[in-house]
Amino acid sequence: MTKSSNSDGFAHQLWEFFASVKLSVFILLSLAVTSIFGTVIPQNKNPLSYHQKFGDVLFKLFKTLDMFDMYHSWWFRFLLCLLTINIIVCSINRLSSTWKIIFPKRPSFNINRFRKAKNRQQWSAQGSVEQVKDRISPWISKRFGRFTVESSANGYLLFGEKNRWTRLGVYAVHLSILLMVAGGLVGSIFGFDGYVNIPEGASVDSVLLRGNQPEVKLNFKIKCDDFDLTFYEESEMPKEYRSRLSIIKDNQTVIQKDIIVNDPLRFEGINIFQSTYGKMPATQLNVTFTEKASGLIYNKKATMTSPVEMPGNSGTLIIEEFRPHFSFRGVTLANTFLCRMIPRQGDPKHIIISADFPRFDMMRQGDFIISISNTDFKYYTGLQVTKDPGVPIVYVGFLFMIIGCYVTFFMFHQKICVEISTDSGKTAVMAAGISEKNKPGMNVVIRRLSRQLQKLT
């Protein structure tokens, strides 16, 4: 990037901007600081609860900034995008200039650099320069892959080099980040993250997505044959959630498997995980209305969420929700139905009906005592159903990250030189090493090397 004309002046500046490590540090720290917000503000909760918690002004501010789903907000994605460009530009920039250093056609050694090295060690040896050379050459060539011998004016120069390729380690780390970003992108475009509740014995062929998105149709049916919940002995701590699932394709059971929390079922790229469980009433419910004045009993059939005509044309009742546990005036009631009664005259009101206590509704002091029977509770299993074709890409990224970090931090390119020369009849040996990256490490290498060579000479 040395040439620069007016036409590519801007492009050049832009390139230089993205090639700067200052920008990298700035982006990394910005990501760190902004990420904190999302751990303090609970993410993806009901808007009403945010409004209650933060008040009007803060709520509007946070809403504009997408703070309630900040990791998917435009500005957070923008930062990730900047990081990606930064990594690509930096890597191209550096790799193009260091490629020739990493893979030279003919590696060259400059003896003067070694003679000036601070870590050089000198001692005098027994025997002629040839003898010393022959004694130590095998030792060095065994430990340094690239080994050359040159003769000098008054002796020999032995050059050794290894781990040149480790200079690529840092690019592996950078590539790993790109792979993770790419894998994440693939996952968010071609994958989904859904959930479904299946009562024991029932089956489904579609799953719901989080948020207000359309449901996803599957190519097969998931049937829940059985759900089991076991507890640790003498305690209320759950030990295991186990669902026996069958995968049914073209009316044939293809797979049958028990899944537990850490052992999902995978089929055609779709993963099925044990997530939650719960209790639900039968679809057909019996509602009994007992008229207080006359003592007459009316029985009606009902299903959840659809209105039931009340006797004597007095209004309608909707069974809205079932709660296995419901807190009522400080008491926890089991198996409770939350209903809405819409009288012919007057305002609708919410009423609570206990499946376990048929006379519970007497308390309300209404014209009718309402109870619900034939509840026939069933367990359902709550499954998480996901598809993420990006996972293999991300996993390759993980591998590159670990290997790259290890190579970058704990291995380094080493160049060493041993000079053997005669000096007024005596044989002198000098050992020195050069490393661009790890000078203290090189010092240790030279200290050990010269200790070994002194034994040999």
Partner 1 sequence: MPSSEIFSIITFVYGLATLLYVFSWIFKKNFPGKIATAVTIVAVLGNLTGIILRWIESYQMGIGHAPLSNLYESLIFFAMTIALTHLFIEFRYKLRFIGMIASPIPFLAMAYASLPKVNDAIQPLIPALQSNWLITHVMTCFVGYAAFAIAFGVSIMFLLKPSGDVPQSGIVSRIPAFDILDDLTHQMVMFGFLFLSIGIITGAVWANQAWGRYWGWDPKETWSLITWLIYASLLHARLMRDWKGKKIAVLSCVGFIAVIFTYFGVNLLPGLHSYQ
- Our CB check for partner 1 shows the closer of 338 and 396 to be 396
Q: Smallest distance, Å, CB 323 to partner 1?
A: 22
Q: Smallest distance, Å, CB 260 to partner 1?
A: 7
Applying CB under 8 A, which of residues 28, 61, 296, 456 lies at the interface with partner 1?
Answer: 28
DSSP-assigned states of every residue in 114-166: HHH-TT-EEEEESS-HHHHHHHHHHHHHHH-SEEEEEEETTEEEEEEEE-GGG
- Our CB check for partner 1 shows the closer of 346 and 440 to be 440
Q: Smallest distance, Å, CB 409 to partner 1?
A: 4
Q: Is 36 in the site for partner 1 (CB under 8 A)?
A: yes
Q: Is 237 in the site for partner 1 (CB under 8 A)?
A: yes
Q: Smallest distance, Å, CB 246 to partner 1?
A: 19
Q: Is 275 in the site for partner 1 (CB under 8 A)?
A: yes
The Cα 155–Cα 129 span in angstroms is 6
Q: Which stretch binds partner 1 (CB under 8 A): 256-264, 286-294, 298-306, 367-375?
A: 256-264
Applying CB under 8 A, which of residues 156, 241, 267, 412 lies at the interface with partner 1?
Answer: 241
- Our CB check for partner 1 shows the closer of 220 and 322 to be 220
Q: Which stretch binds partner 1 (CB under 8 A): 20-28, 280-288, 289-297, 349-357?
A: 20-28
**245 forms bridges with which residues in the sheet?**
224, 257
- The one-letter amino acid at 352: I
The Cα 250–Cα 71 span in angstroms is 40
H/E element, 325: strand 315-328
Largest Cα separation within the chain, whole Å, is 131
Q: Which stretch binds partner 1 (CB under 8 A): 210-218, 310-318, 399-407, 449-457?
A: 399-407
Q: Which of residues 52-91 bind partner 1 (CB under 8 A)?
A: 71
- Our CB check for partner 1 shows the closer of 107 and 269 to be 269
- Our CB check for partner 1 shows the closer of 259 and 431 to be 259
Q: Is 232 in the site for partner 1 (CB under 8 A)?
A: yes
Coil vs helix vs strand at 392: helix
Q: Smallest distance, Å, CB 168 to partner 1?
A: 15
Q: Is 396 in the site for partner 1 (CB under 8 A)?
A: no
- Using alpha carbons only, give the angle 321, 260, 204 rounded to the nearest 5 degrees: 50
Tell me how far apart the terminal alpha carbons of the chain are, to the nearest angstrom: 50
Q: Which stretch binds partner 1 (CB under 8 A): 48-56, 127-135, 371-379, 382-390?
A: 382-390
- Our CB check for partner 1 shows the closer of 149 and 396 to be 396
Residues 6+ apart with CB under 8 A from 41: 62, 67, 68, 70
The Cα 420–Cα 130 span in angstroms is 9
Coil vs helix vs strand at 196: strand
The Cα 257–Cα 370 span in angstroms is 43
Contact 318, 342 (CB under 8 A): yes
H/E element, 228: strand 216-231
Q: Is 255 in the site for partner 1 (CB under 8 A)?
A: no
Q: Which stretch binds partner 1 (CB under 8 A): 104-112, 246-254, 267-275, 374-382?
A: 267-275
Q: For the chain, how many residues are written?
A: 457
The Cα 342–Cα 367 span in angstroms is 13
Q: Smallest distance, Å, CB 163 to partner 1?
A: 16
**How many helical (H) and strand (E) elements, i.e. helices and strands, does the chain have?**
9, 20
Summarize as ranges the residues that interact with partner 1 (CB under 8 A).
21-22, 24-25, 28-29, 31-32, 35-36, 38-40, 42-43, 71, 184, 193, 232-233, 235, 237-241, 260-262, 264, 271, 273-275, 384-386, 388, 391, 394-395, 398, 401-402, 405-406, 409-410, 437, 440
